[in-house]
Structure 1
Amino acid sequence: MNILNNKTNKKYLLRLALLSIPLAGVMSSCADDFLEATPRTEASVESAFDTPERVEAQANGLYATIKSGAFLGGRYQVYNDVRAEEFINRLNNGVTGAWAYQHIIGGDDTYLTNFWITGYLAINRSNLFLEGLDANSSKIDPAKLLSYKGEAKFVRALTYFYLVQIYAKPYVLDNGASPGLPLRLKGETGPENNGLARSTVAQVYAQILKDLNEAEAELPANYSSGSLNTTRAHKNTAIALKTRVYLTMGNHAKVIEEGNKIVSATAPFTSPNRVAHALQPDIKTVFTNYTTTESILSMPMTNNSAPGTQNQLGYYYNGAPNGNREYYLNVNPTGITGIYTHPQFRDTDVRKTGLTATISGQRYVTKFSGVTPFVDWVPLIRYSEVLLNLAEAEATVGSETRALALLLAVHHRSDPTWVFVPASKAELIDAILTERRIELLAEGFRTNDIMRRGQAIPSIGAGALIPTTDSRYTFPIPTREFQTNPLI
């Protein structure tokens, strides 16, 4: 991927890598415009690692890249949710994902291209940072050096994982034999190495796991505050992501192995190691107090660091007081039924009574209730997801008793009177999958959860099931990549 123009040199790229300001709000529809922007730091390549502050700025810049509204700061989550059956589009606005909703997905779409560009920019920054750390290891405190390496590997793994889920066929269809992504593991300072063929899906996942395993060993056990524990990767963050990666690969035994590192054997389920992750008594707290131990990784937003216009989750979903009401919940089963009317999502459930609301005759998600400029933090990994990952794995290859207990822990937090006695393993697994749709609604999981199980996508926007053999099943690799990468 050519994220660099011909005028870019090594000194300039280090300046770019040093930026710790968020990309949201400066990421334009043209990547070259962004890359030509005047850097706010003038540190040269020779001095980029000379002070702790400059090294720290580079680490912060990794997170600043992925939290762009064009990537994990909003749009990625929205597009993955609205492709399926939970939401109905109100305004038919191409800028806010109507094309994804309708499965009219072209390789020259600006927003699709920005997913790719921002993802590979984050990967390149991670590669450059790792190379710089190795070249300047004598200048950096050994403990910090190890931690920084772990963070860079974590960000690279996280980014590749998000990209491979939407641009490649699911691992479970053929054990990862399908074409995946160009696997770029060296920092690029010019266009010389643009040509790179796609690795297989299996090879991409192998690299993701290699990075996460190394990151787990290198990352700190925790940080000095809840805010840092929520916004920067630590050991439990890498472990939590591994439970999702292994679940996506259908490797349930490994989900259990990793999950057991941060989930106690029995209820009440909490993390026995390092950060004491636990469910909050009231789920609404998670979306108002962003730094509880339930939030394992979130993208922080502030008035001076917002996702940018028409990227914010609240803008898309929340009907009041300032939301644009782009998408409302599918509450009328007319062929393709949404989760809102599922009997497991009862009217007594706090997730229904407290995190959705009727506005102007339609039902909206109100998890993200901030007002303009919509600075709700974007949740990427929550402890409730880890419990459900583990529940699904236990129900499939492990203890059905523990799987049921994990399911009930998540559900009873919001709906304590629900009674469920599964008649079979299949019924238990189905209930766990349904619980994911309830618990993680509007957090960017739905389409990826469908795809990881090799199922057709039930699309409201397309008015049909999208089978795995349909070209619309995955996003097309952007036209720009074909123009700059002759080996793709």
Structure 2
Amino acid sequence: MKKLLLIFIAAGMLASCGKDFLETAPKDRKTIEAFYKTPKDAFEALVAAYSMLNVDGYGNIWLSSTIASDEAFGGGGNADNGWLQWDKSIPRNDLNAEAWNKYYTAIYRCNIFLQNIGSVDFKNDTATRDRYIGEAKFLRAYYYFDLARMFGNVPLITKPLQPGDYYIPQATPDSVYTQIATDLKEAIALLPATQFSAIPSGEYGRATKWAAEALLGRVFLYYTGYYGKQSIGAVTSKADALSAVEDVINNSGHGLVSKFNNLFRASATTNEYAGQNNQEGVFTIQYTYLGLGDQNQQNGNRVQVMIGIRSQVLGPYYKGWGAATVNPKLYDAYAPGDTRRSASIISIDAEGYSSQYVVGDQAQNTNFFIKKYTPVNDKKPEDLGGNFQWDNYDNYVAIRFADVLLMGAELQLGTNNAKAQQYLDQVRDRAFQDQLHRVVLTSKDQIMTERRFELALEGQRYWDLLRQGVSVAKAAIDNPSTDAAFNISFRSETKGLFAIPETQINLSNGTLVQNTGW
């Protein structure tokens, strides 16, 4: 299950590669010219590109966008200003530096790989070569999509930079999204169409044709919604996006887990947890405890410790830092009988912990915490030789099959309403564990509402709001309150974009311009 991550640790030579590694020749490392020779070399370089998925903490788009949405507040300790800044869109020097560095390091590794893969002797094994190239293109698209959503106007770099070329101006979003779509379509043509049931356990977490197709659907819906376009340039039309999503639904072998709560270790009943790599994960980021307390390994799920109940163990839940306290409005919005509420959100009161829970220095306390992915007090990192700060190991499902169904419903609406209805019904039937809660699908708003409950606290809500329009985002995120801690006002002038790190602007020799509102 974690074989790919074990290679991350074994391939330390490449896991820390960067410009210095590629332009110097220390005795314990190979030069770029000496390295790309064998398929093993290529695989290690590809693993180095994958490994950036695990770089978490303040650089994780899932956490920062959840806090920026209407789902959660900043939380954390009273002295933890960073999360509060995301919550209230308050300028803070270098707040997003970790994300910027993470993604450009990742893109650099993809570019180095793609530039040099032609030097590898695959001995006529074109299938392996094509797969590796497809994976690298998928990863570059994945990283650029996160960058483009967060910052809007970013430098577009598709090859390793040479001395003198470091001051790259920001590209237009149209150019960046065209590159993302191009990479994904090329990846779709190269990646294996292996059904989920046939994927070897040691290959979980690797990109497949289905992951690339699902991501293309997500990219299309966000770009066309946020920017008011009909297509992604001449590269991807609505018909292309629909065809890709339909292929995942009909041919991938992925499907819904029978009960929603079994998707997450913290909410599953005894012996019913579907597992770290179940059929619903179309693209699943792999984590492991095998860093064993070494924070430099960056193989653990850092978001888990950040969202855990602050500094205390309650029932099955293990301790954490208390970030992203859940907005009571989300908890209250679920309909009676919807199993997703108790599987998604810890309610201190409803779960009977009121007499045990100590608020302490918890900021923006709501008595609600994220249950999905929260640390649990069973086989915790310490029990396995690790450290709870660095070595939480629950995988993050970046693209779930339920999301693909809802994308399919959205793309089919107005084209094939019967199919759109069918996809929505599948999601709601599971949520309520019956067919009595179906609704007649007539509008996109119903699908967006379903996405709110199905994908709650998984890092999708903020982007779903923005692609419906800045005014829609503001109406949802604004939280007028007499309590200053909870008084939130979405700043429309930012258009929902995050601040480009000031250090990057200062280093850019005037080529980077800060986003409006920051």
Please indicate, yes or no, whether the TM-score normalized by the shorter chain is above 0.5: yes
| Distance change >3 Å, CA 249–CA 88, structure 1 → 2 | closer
Aligned counterpart in structure 2 of residue 290 of structure 1, from 273, 276, 296: 276
Q: How much has 1:229 moved relative to structure 2?
A: 5.4
Higher mean displacement: 293-302 or 250-259? 250-259
Counterpart of 2:44, as a letter, is A
The answer to whether 1:374 aligns with 2:379 is no
| Structure 2 equivalent of residue 197 of structure 1 | 169
| Structure 1 equivalent of residue 156 of structure 2 | 183
| Structure 2 equivalent of residue 476 of structure 1 | 499
In the alignment, structure 1 segments of 5+ residues that lack a partner are 1-17, 169-179, 264-270, 332-337
Q: Are the aligned partners of 1:151 and 1:219 in contact in 2 as well (CA < 8 Å)?
A: yes
Q: Are the aligned partners of 1:101 and 1:462 in contact in 2 as well (CA < 8 Å)?
A: no
The answer to whether 1:210 aligns with 2:182 is yes
| Structure 2 equivalent of residue 330 of structure 1 | 327
Q: How much has 1:232 moved relative to structure 2?
A: 0.7
Aligned counterpart in structure 2 of residue 436 of structure 1, from 438, 446, 451: 451
The answer to whether 1:88 aligns with 2:73 is yes
Q: How much has 1:302 moved relative to structure 2?
A: 0.9
Q: Deviations over 1:39-92 (max 9, x none)?
A: 9962332331223322211111111012211477xx210110111211133334
Q: How much has 1:440 moved relative to structure 2?
A: 1.2
Q: How much has 1:339 moved relative to structure 2?
A: 2.5
| Distance change >3 Å, CA 64–CA 221, structure 1 → 2 | same
The answer to whether 1:245 aligns with 2:263 is no
Q: How much has 1:197 moved relative to structure 2?
A: 1.6
CA distance in 1, matches of 2:167, 2:466: 29
For the residue of structure 2 that corresponds to 1:379, the secondary structure is strand
For the residue of structure 2 that corresponds to 1:298, the secondary structure is strand
Counterpart of 1:221, as a letter, is A
The 5 Å alignment of 1:60-209 reads 60-70=47-57, 75-90=60-75, 91-94=77-80, 97-106=83-92, 108-109=93-94, 111-136=95-120, 141-168=125-152, 180-188=153-161, 191-209=163-181
Q: Deviations over 1:217-271 (max 9, x none)?
A: 11122386354554111111110101101111235444322211122xxxxxxx3
The answer to whether 1:258 aligns with 2:244 is yes
Counterpart of 2:209, as a letter, is K
Q: Percent identity?
A: 25
Aligned counterpart in structure 1 of residue 369 of structure 2, from 353, 364, 368: 364
Q: How much has 1:191 moved relative to structure 2?
A: 4.3
Q: Deviations over 1:182-207 (max 9, x none)?
A: 1101113x542112221111111100
Q: How much has 1:450 moved relative to structure 2?
A: 1.1
The answer to whether 1:351 aligns with 2:340 is yes
- The count of corresponding residues between Structure 1 and Structure 2 is 427
TM-score (norm 1): 0.79
Q: Are the aligned partners of 2:137 and 2:187 in contact in 1 as well (CA < 8 Å)?
A: yes
CA distance in 2, matches of 1:206, 1:230: 29
Counterpart of 2:394, as a letter, is D
In the alignment, structure 2 segments of 5+ residues that lack a partner are 1-10, 225-229, 231-237, 266-274, 310-316, 355-366, 381-387, 480-484, 513-518
Aligned counterpart in structure 1 of residue 410 of structure 2, from 392, 396, 399: 392
| Distance change >3 Å, CA 118–CA 452, structure 1 → 2 | same
Counterpart of 1:277, as a letter, is H
The 5 Å alignment of 1:391-430 reads 391-395=409-413, 397-417=414-434, 418-422=436-440, 425-426=442-443, 429-430=444-445
CA RMSD of aligned residues (A): 3.2
| Distance change >3 Å, CA 101–CA 309, structure 1 → 2 | farther
CA distance in 2, matches of 1:450, 1:155: 25
Counterpart of 1:421, as a letter, is V
| Distance change >3 Å, CA 413–CA 85, structure 1 → 2 | same
Aligned counterpart in structure 1 of residue 257 of structure 2, from 273, 280, 294: 280
> Which 4+ stretches in 1 moved above 6 angstroms?
20-23, 31-41
Q: How much has 1:98 moved relative to structure 2?
A: 1.9
Q: Are the aligned partners of 1:69 and 1:311 in contact in 2 as well (CA < 8 Å)?
A: yes
| Distance change >3 Å, CA 380–CA 466, structure 1 → 2 | same
Q: Are the aligned partners of 1:392 and 1:432 in contact in 2 as well (CA < 8 Å)?
A: yes
CA distance in 1, matches of 2:91, 2:20: 24
Q: Deviations over 1:313-367 (max 9, x none)?
A: 3223333222332232211xxxxxx33212xx22422222334322355122212
Q: Deviations over 1:155-177 (max 9, x none)?
A: 11111111101101xxxxxxxxx
| Distance change >3 Å, CA 76–CA 37, structure 1 → 2 | farther
